[in-house]
């Protein structure tokens, strides 16, 4: 092949291997003039094994176009190129830059399909851009390579992106409808800015080992299925804001965060914090469920510990369920945040006795912690409400055979005033229990025929109704001074009647005490 137009004294662009003979048009065109002026190199519809670009210094771009097919493309040595552009239906197994290669723009566009892009050595690339339906299986940036801008845009499809060793990337942007399986930042690499936005999709992001990420931002509508922090450090700030998504899962087992991790103005179907441990402040504000999400809307905290969690102005009650398991949120600050009515220990419905008991244990743990939070903040109102929920969960956990008296006490509190939170329920309980007791007491005496109240004549009914109010009066005298019972008994009150009257008085006094306590629930100290 005649390359003398490029460099008369030596060949800097080597095409090695034999051209495959088939019916396709095969041509190699050099030094084409663009419509905007200037020249570029075009390699069009070429099927070849290997391209080696070595020690070049071209102030003009190289285009791989048409249906060109290559096994390997190497850019190495002291190669300096204005741009490498892969477009149309170009196919390649691997594109590799190494040594001290320098490229202003490395662009993949228009249905290009590349298996691997390997940027290593001391390569310096101003911009790597993948867009317009290009498909890349793997991108690796390693060694001491530097990339200023790594952009995925416009319906491109990327497999995995691995940044490792001591590589540096100034900016990563995943935007529009770009799709990426995994983004991994590890070892001693540095990424200055990671920006996920638009309608992009990322299955998994991982920050690990001693890697440094300066800024991490998610905004608009990207789908980020799983965010894993396994190590490394986020130096400046991390912010997820004005973000609408279907679901996201966050894990952290060793990443160091800046002073504050901000999650703001989020509309999401499911958000899960699993094995999430953090020592800095996490502020979650204006979080609510995404009404367009078709599945079960859930927020989850599982095996989490927070040094400082701030929940401010969140509508968590818009979620169907809160999943809580073995987590510590007692350091939380709560303000204008409402929780879902349904609290469970797993997002999967399990009906076994053991799983139901575990669910109630975790409910109790959650309500106990929320009660503690409100107590610490001096919010008596919410503290009392969550204490009632805690006691209700504790009641459900207890076994009648093993914890009879404790369960009986809680049963009484639950069914009279709902653990001191409802005086109206206590008043209803007083009527429901004392009316049958009073009727039974009357039937137990010698002077009353056992008939129902509605079967009595009006005179008897009026008399007994008047005496009923004396019966429920906790200050009225019992059998020795209660003339009405003496008259009905004919002057001598039997022991059975005495015991029934004594039991009734004890029960009445207890329920009335419960009512007074519930009535004063917001005035307790």
> Domain map of the chain by residue range?
238-356, 419-523
Do residues 144 and 166 lie in contact, with contact meaning Cβ atoms separated by under 8 Å? yes
The residue to which tokens 């160091």 are assigned: 256
Q: Span 315-328, mean pLDDT? A: 95
Tokens of 39: 């020249």
Kindly tell me if the per-residue pLDDT of 419 is higher than 90: no
Instruction: In whole angstroms, give the CA distance from residue 304 to residue 326.
Output: 7
Nearest alpha-carbon partner for 282 in 229, 360, 245, 342: 229
Using CB atoms within 10 A of its CB, is residue 452 exposed (0-12), middle (13-18) or buried (19+)? Answer: exposed
How would residue 486 be classed by pLDDT, with cut points 50, 70 and 90? Answer: low
pLDDT value of residue 44: 86
Neighbours of 455 (CB within 10 A): 10
Nearest alpha-carbon partner for 521 in 410, 408, 365, 413: 413
Do residues 81 and 104 lie in contact, with contact meaning Cβ atoms separated by under 8 Å? yes
Q: Read off the pLDDT of residues 445-465 as tens digits, 9 standing for 90 and up.
A: 766 666 677 777 777 777 778
pLDDT value of residue 27: 43
pLDDT value of residue 479: 52
Q: Read off the pLDDT of residues 275-305 as tens digits, 9 standing for 90 and up.
A: 999 888 999 999 999 999 999 999 999 999 9
Among 25-39, 179-193, 334-348, 392-406, the range with the most confident prediction by mean pLDDT is 179-193
Q: What is the 3-state secondary structure (H, E, C) of 365-394?
A: HHHHHHHHHHHHHCCHHHHHHHHHHHHHHH
pLDDT value of residue 444: 80
Q: Span 251-276, mean pLDDT? A: 93
pTM of the model: 0.82
How would residue 26 be classed by pLDDT, with cut points 50, 70 and 90? Answer: very low
Instruction: In whole angstroms, give the CA distance from residue 344 to residue 342.
Output: 7
pLDDT value of residue 116: 97
Nearest alpha-carbon partner for 117 in 75, 149, 155, 148: 75
pLDDT value of residue 483: 64
pLDDT value of residue 31: 47
pLDDT value of residue 1: 30
How would residue 226 be classed by pLDDT, with cut points 50, 70 and 90? Answer: very high
Q: Assign residue 511 a region: left if phi > 0, alpha if psi is -120 to 50, beta otherwise?
A: alpha
Q: Span 412-422, mean pLDDT? A: 88
pLDDT value of residue 13: 47
Q: Read off the pLDDT of residues 126-176 as tens digits, 9 standing for 90 and up.
A: 999 999 999 999 999 999 999 999 999 989 999 999 999 999 999 999 998
Strands 102-108 and 135-141, bridge-based pairing: unpaired
Among 43-52, 70-79, 260-269, 450-459, the range with the most confident prediction by mean pLDDT is 260-269
Do residues 119 and 97 lie in contact, with contact meaning Cβ atoms separated by under 8 Å? yes
To the nearest whole number, what is the mean pLDDT of the chain? 86
pLDDT value of residue 10: 36
Q: Span 73-85, mean pLDDT? A: 90
Portion of the chain with pLDDT greater than 90, in percent:
56
pLDDT value of residue 353: 64
pLDDT value of residue 60: 80
Q: Read off the pLDDT of residues 323-373 as tens digits, 9 standing for 90 and up.
A: 999 999 999 999 999 999 999 887 655 555 667 888 889 999 999 999 999
Tell me the DSSP string of 101-156: -EEEEEEE-SS-EEEEEEE-TT-EEEEEEE-TT-EEEEEEE-TT-EEEEEEE-TT-
């Amino acid at each position: 092949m005649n390359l003398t137009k490029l460099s008369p004294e030596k060949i800097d662009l080597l095409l090695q291997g034999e051209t495959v003979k088939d019916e396709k048009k095969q041509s190699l065109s050099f030094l084409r003039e663009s419509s905007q002026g200037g020249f570029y190199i075009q390699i069009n519809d070429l099927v070849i094994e290997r391209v080696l670009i070595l020690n070049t210094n071209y102030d003009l771009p190289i285009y791989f176009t048409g249906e060109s097919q290559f096994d390997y493309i190497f850019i190495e040595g002291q190669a300096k190129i204005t741009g490498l552009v892969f477009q149309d239906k170009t196919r390649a197994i691997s594109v590799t830059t190494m040594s001290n290669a320098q490229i202003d723009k490395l662009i993949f566009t228009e249905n290009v399909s590349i298996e691997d892009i390997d940027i290593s050595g001391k390569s310096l690339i101003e911009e790597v851009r993948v867009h317009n339906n290009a498909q890349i299986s793997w991108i690796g940036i390693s060694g001491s390579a530097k990339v200023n801008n790594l952009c995925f845009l416009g319906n491109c499809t990327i497999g995995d992106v691995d940044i490792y060793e001591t590589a540096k990337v100034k900016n990563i942007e995943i935007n529009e409808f770009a799709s990426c399986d995994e983004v991994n930042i590890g070892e001693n690499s540095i990424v200055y800015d990671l920006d996920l936005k638009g309608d992009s999709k990322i299955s998994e992001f991982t920050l690990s080992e001693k890697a440094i990420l300066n800024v991490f931002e998610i905004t608009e509508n990207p789908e980020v299925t799983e965010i894993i922090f396994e190590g490394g450090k986020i130096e400046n700030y991390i912010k997820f804001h004005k973000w609408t998504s279907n679901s996201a899962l966050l894990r952290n087992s060793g990443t160091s965060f800046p002073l504050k991790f901000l999650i703001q103005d989020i509309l999401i179907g499911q958000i899960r914090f699993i094995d999430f441990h953090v020592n800095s402040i996490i502020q979650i504000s204006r979080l609510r469920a995404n009404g367009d999400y078709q599945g079960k809307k859930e927020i989850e905290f599982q095996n989490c510990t927070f040094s400082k969690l701030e929940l401010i102005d969140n509508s968590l009650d818009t979620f169907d369920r809160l999943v809580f398991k073995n987590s510590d949120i007692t350091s939380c600050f709560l303000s204008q945040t409402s929780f879902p009515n349904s609290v469970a220990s797993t997002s999967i419905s399990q009906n076994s006795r053991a799983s139901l008991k575990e669910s109630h244990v975790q409910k109790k743990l959650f309500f106990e912690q929320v009660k503690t939070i409100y107590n610490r903040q001096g919010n008596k109102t919410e503290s009392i409400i969550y204490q009632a929920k805690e006691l209700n969960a504790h009641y459900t956990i207890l076994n009648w055979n093993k914890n009879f008296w404790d369960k009986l006490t809680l049963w009484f509190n639950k069914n009279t005033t709902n653990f001191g939170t409802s005086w109206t329920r206590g008043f209803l309980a007083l009527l429901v229990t004392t009316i049958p007791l009073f009727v039974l007491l009357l039937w137990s005496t010698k002077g009353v025929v056992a008939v129902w109240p509605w079967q009595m004549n009006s005179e008897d009914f009026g008399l007994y109704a008047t005496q009923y109010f004396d019966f429920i009066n906790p200050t009225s005298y019992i059998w020795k001074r209660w003339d009405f019972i003496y008259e009905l008994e004919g002057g001598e009150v039997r022991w059975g009647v005495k015991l029934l009257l004594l039991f009734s008085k004890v029960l009445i006094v207890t329920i009335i005490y419960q009512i007074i306590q519930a009535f004063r629930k917001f005035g307790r100290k």
